[in-house]
Amino acid sequence: MAKLIDGKAIAAEIRCEIAADVQALCARGVQPGLAVILVGDDPASAVYVRNKKKACEQTGIRSESYELPADTTEEQLLALIRKLNADPAIHGILVQLPLPSHLDQKTVIHTISPEKDVDAFHPVNVGKIMIGDYDFLPCTPAGVMALLERSGIDCTGKECVVVGRSNIVGKPQAMLLLHANGTVTVCHSHTKNLAEVTRRADILVVAVGRADFVGADMVKPGAVVVDVGMNRRADGKLTGDVDFAAVEPIASYITPVPGGVGPMTITMLLKNTVKSAEKSAETLDRQSSRVI
């Protein structure tokens, strides 16, 4: 029977550390600030934004929410982003995805300053992750790595398989596992004999957005299974991409859904915002020392 990786408990632990960092920054005259932009009235996005605002309040981060109507023009949205780029009190900018269809996601992401791109979606930050010299990490993959690390799971030399190749999770997740000295395979819709590949995994990360996609026949006994999926069944209950009931008896560690990876995503967003604020504080310290 697998040991549960408790994302709620680990997230709470990290948020306590973040709150202490925020207090230290405030003592230096810098309060971390996060701006969240929501365009339209997507119910799931609205919930995410509320959760982010609550998490900011709990850790002492100042949050600003911009809830824009669905018919907001691209020019209006980009103007707001540029204004926030220039605001020294804002250290992180997040535009909630998905956007209404008339807005170009690529253009919006490229407009956010890389120094305030706390989602780590900007090409500059993506490139830094590739070479291992990064400022920010994408929140969900970073959350997965924190879960592994704080559960005492070492990736070194392990066969790591990532199912899913999205820009948000799959691709950066593979890079982070590689940086942690794992031997990494990325699977996708064109992978042949998928179950044979996933059964090789010592660490299996699943992010495909299909309920109960991974069953017991796809998991090696004793594997660490990380379920990034968040799907809603017909009865309204949340479930992951892994058939938990079938896989839990044969895995060594497994993340539940909900309560696994989910709480870590917002936590890593807070961590990125604090890191941006720390860089800002260092700049202010250097400027004040030159004045003296």
State the pLDDT at residue 42. Answer: 85
**Which pTM does this prediction carry?**
0.95
Identical fold for domains 30-113 and 139-263, yes or no, is yes
State the pLDDT at residue 292. Answer: 54
State the pLDDT at residue 284. Answer: 77
Tokens of 54: 């609550």
Residues of the chain with pLDDT below 70 are: 289-292
Buried b (16+ CB within 10 A) or exposed e, 248-263: bebbbbbbbbebbbbb
> Which residue numbers are catalytic?
52, 96, 119
What is the third-level CATH fold of 30-113? Rossmann fold (3.40.50)
**Residue 66 backbone dihedrals phi, psi, to 5 degrees:** -120, 105
Q: pLDDT tens for residues 105-153?
A: 999 999 999 999 999 999 999 999 999 999 999 999 999 999 999 999 9
Q: For the chain, which residues make up each domain, given as ranges?
A: 30-113, 139-263
* Answer CATH for 139-263 from 3.40.50.720, 3.20.10.10, 3.40.190.150, 3.30.1490.20: 3.40.50.720
What stretches of the chain show up as alpha helix (H) in DSSP?
7-27, 43-59, 74-85, 105-111, 123-131, 139-150, 170-179, 194-198, 244-247, 262-291
